[in-house]
Amino acid sequence: RTARFALDPAFTVGKVDPRLFGSFVEHLGRCVYTGIFEPEHPTADEAGLRTDVLELVRELGVTAIRYPGGNFVSGYKWEDSVGPVEDRPKRLDLAWRTTESNRFGLSEYIAFLKKVGPQAEPMMAVNLGTRGVAEAIELQEYANHPQGTALSDLRIAHGDKDPFGIRLWCLGNEMDGPWQTGHKTAEEYGRIAAETARAMRQIDKDVELVACGSSGQGMDTFAEWEATVLTETYDLVDYISLHAYYEEHDGDRDSFLASAVDMESFIENVVATCDHVGAKLKSSKKINLSFDEWNVWYMSRTDAQVSALDWPEAPRLLEDVYSVTDAVVFGSLLIALLRHADRVTVACLAQLVNVIAPIMTEPGGAAWRQTTFFPFAAAAKYGRGEVLDVRVSGPTYDTKRHGTADLLHATAVRAEDGTVTVFAVNRSQTQALPLEVALHALELTTVVEHSVLADADPDARNTLTDPERVAPHAGTGTTLDAGTLKATLEPLSWNVIRLG
Ligand code: AHR
């Protein structure tokens, strides 16, 4: 059976915020050390940044880059990470049972963003696990105040004359999670988040603040957490965060392929909770969503890896090697974000390099693209503009975890010049899926490109020894005639169809 939908420029979801294509650099494993930063590497620049990695980060097209954690931030002492490198202390990182050298710190992060390019924006998290209001505003003063105070002058003495201009701040990380250092109840966190936000706004009323939501829709405290936290912080914050990771459980690939069903319901439930609190408070303000950690992550393998560690520096951790199947699910998660672009206005792919990442590196050696690199790069490039409302009708299938799901998962984005890009996933493992899209209300005449990520071996991966095994290929037989787009989507595939 054919899957169908119609596109009409009069029916839109919302404009895509460039921050939807954010990412995340945590002091975890080899994301920083031997990932983005490796002074000994043959491609390293004068700042110790790997230029081979910088090139791939630019190609990936990431915008906001969240830093320095993650769980790491709940033990972070920002002052350890500034000033002369030789004076910086080594610290235990309780989150990942490793030793943090602080060779790379705040100034290096800002320098890294500048080298990525103008589209890269800082998104800095403050520690509300082991620390509180005072340390958050001290960090803000050090980073953002122009000059003439102890901490702003300290930054200048450290060599950074210009303030860092960090606008977007996360008030802690996953404070609902029992694993978090300094974990809190919703009431405890709501209070400290509100007071931190109030103080940060006393320094600069225009900062944009993200309150911690739930670490996943499956948390026991989900929804009540958001309601309690937002009741305390509604007027003081701009965003509530969401985190979600998906993996294939027990060989149940059909459910895995429908992971975005969960992601979309998570988003819709958080929107409902935000608006419920807003209604109770009789507020006309809307809280937006910062989906600041999302990815495919084989998390079930992580606990054993971490508990076996004896405080090493930058070990190999969470280095998932992604298959074609993982990339198709990943592409579907991107579609879920785009389909909710009216309220999800920040999102961060967790993470950027080596740690559950689209880019991998070998110390002293090569850097290469994982399979997940391709959907992200395409979405970041062509998913700019207005998301059109897509209502699919077509075949469905049953899954154990996510109920009945459409075989087709799709969205469409209309750029300012009127061109349209359709992003579509065929969730069937075995069947090609005929697709028809009615475009009569749009002035489109040509299929500019149909790019497909699929493989005869859905477990194929890119690795150090075979870094280009998987790459997108051109789709065949895709046509646009008399206002109707026709395509056949390969089994288990991610598709980018550009129309002009
Ligand atoms: O991204 C890896 C980890 O996942 C982060 O440190 C934490 O916030 C989440 O649980």
Name, in order, each residue with C-beta under 8 angstroms of 76's C-beta and a sequence gap of 6 or more. 27, 68, 69, 125, 127, 131
**How many angstroms is it from 71 CA to the middle of ligand 1?**
6
* Ligand 1 site, residue 320, Cβ cutoff 6 A: no
pLDDT for 227 equals 98
Let me know whether 83 and 51 are in one domain: yes
Residue to mutate, 93, 97, 171, 243, ligand 1, most ligand atoms under 8 Å from C-beta? 243
Q: Which of 31, 174, 212 to mutate to test the pocket of ligand 1 (most atoms within 8 A of CB)?
A: 174
**340 lies in the same domain as 486:** no
Coil, strand or helix at 168: strand
pLDDT score of 494: 98
From the CA of 211, how far away is ligand 1's center (Å)? 16
pLDDT of 300 reads: 84
Nearest protein Cα to ligand 1, atom 4:
70
Q: Is 232 in the pocket of ligand 1 (CB under 6 A)?
A: no
Q: What pLDDT, in 10s, does the model give residues 137-184?
A: 999 999 999 999 999 999 999 999 999 999 999 999 999 999 999 999
ipTM for the whole complex: 0.99
Yes or no: say if 3 and 408 are a contact pair by the CB < 8 Å rule. yes
Do 307 and 328 lie in one domain? The reply is yes
The number of the ligand 1 atom at minimal distance from the alpha carbon of 215 is: 10
Roughly how many angstroms between the first and final C-alpha of the chain, as a whole number?
27
- Residue 132 CA to ligand 1 center (angstroms) comes to 20
Output the pLDDT for position 440.
Answer: 87
Can you point out the beta strands (E) in 212-351? Answer: 239-246, 288-296, 344-350
Antiparallel, parallel or unpaired: β 447-453 and 473-474? antiparallel
Verify that 290 and 402 share a domain, yes or no.
no
Distance of CA 74 from the midpoint of ligand 1 (Å): 11
Q: What is the mean pLDDT of each run of 10 residues along the chain (500 residues)?
A: 96 98 98 98 98 98 98 98 98 97 98 98 98 98 98 98 98 98 98 98 98 98 98 98 97 98 98 98 98 95 89 97 98 98 98 98 98 98 98 98 98 97 98 96 95 98 98 97 97 98
**31 CA from centroid of ligand 1 (Å):** 12
134 Cα to the center of ligand 1, angstroms? 25
Clarify whether residues 344 and 424 are in a common domain.
no
Please give the distance, rounded to the nearest whole angstrom, from the Cα atom of residue 379 to the centre of ligand 1.
23
Nearest CA to ligand 1 atom 5: 70
Can you tell me which atom of ligand 1 is nearest the CA of 95? 6
Q: Confirm if 94 and 194 have CB atoms less than 8 A apart.
A: no
pTM of the model: 0.98
Last residue of a domain, one of 337, 364, 383: 383
DSSP string, 53-94: HHHHHHHHT--EEEES-SGGGGG--GGGGSS-GGGPPPEEET
pLDDT at position 47: 97
Read off the CATH number of the domain in which 445 is found.
2.60.40.1180
| Model pLDDT, residue 301 | 85
Do 377 and 397 reside in the same domain of the chain? no
Instruction: Assess whether 351 and 483 both reside in one domain.
Output: no
Minimum-distance ligand 1 atom for the alpha carbon of 351: 1
The catalytic residue among 26, 248, 293, 490 is: 293
Specify the DSSP class assigned to residue 300: G
Query: What's the number of domains the chain is made of?
Result: 2
Distances (CA, A) of 398 to 256, 402, 405, 406, 427: 12, 8, 6, 9, 11
Domain coverage including residue 267: 17-383
Quick check: is 135 catalytic? no
Residues 6+ apart with CB under 8 A from 185: none
Which one of the listed residues 38, 79, 108, 174 is annotated catalytic? 174
* Whole-Å CA distances, 14 to 17, 89, 260, 333: 9, 47, 19, 18
Q: Tell me, yes or no, whether 262 and 318 share the same domain.
A: yes
Is-catalytic flag, 449?
no
Ligand 1 in reach of 173 Cβ (< 6 A): yes
* CATH number of the domain that residue 27 is part of: 3.20.20.80
Which atom from ligand 1 is nearest to the alpha carbon of 28? 6
- Exposure of 114 by Cβ count < 10 A (0-12 exposed, 13-18 middle, 19+ buried)? exposed
Secondary structure (3-state) at 38: coil
The answer on 184 and 68 residing in a single domain is yes
Ligand 1 atom closest to the CA of 24, numbered from 1: 1
Q: Do residues 335 and 395 share a domain?
A: no
Q: Hunting for tokens 């109770």 — which residue is that?
A: 280
Check whether residue 212 and residue 359 sit in a common domain: yes
| Residues 329 and 393 both lie in one domain | no
Q: Which residue, 316, 348, 383, sits at the end of a domain?
A: 383
Q: Cis check for the bond before 68: say yes or no (omega within 30 of 0).
A: yes
Q: Name which residue sits closest to atom 2 of ligand 1, judged by CA.
A: 70
- Does residue 29 have its Cβ closer than 6 Å to ligand 1? no
Q: Which of 383, 398, 420 is the last residue of a domain?
A: 383
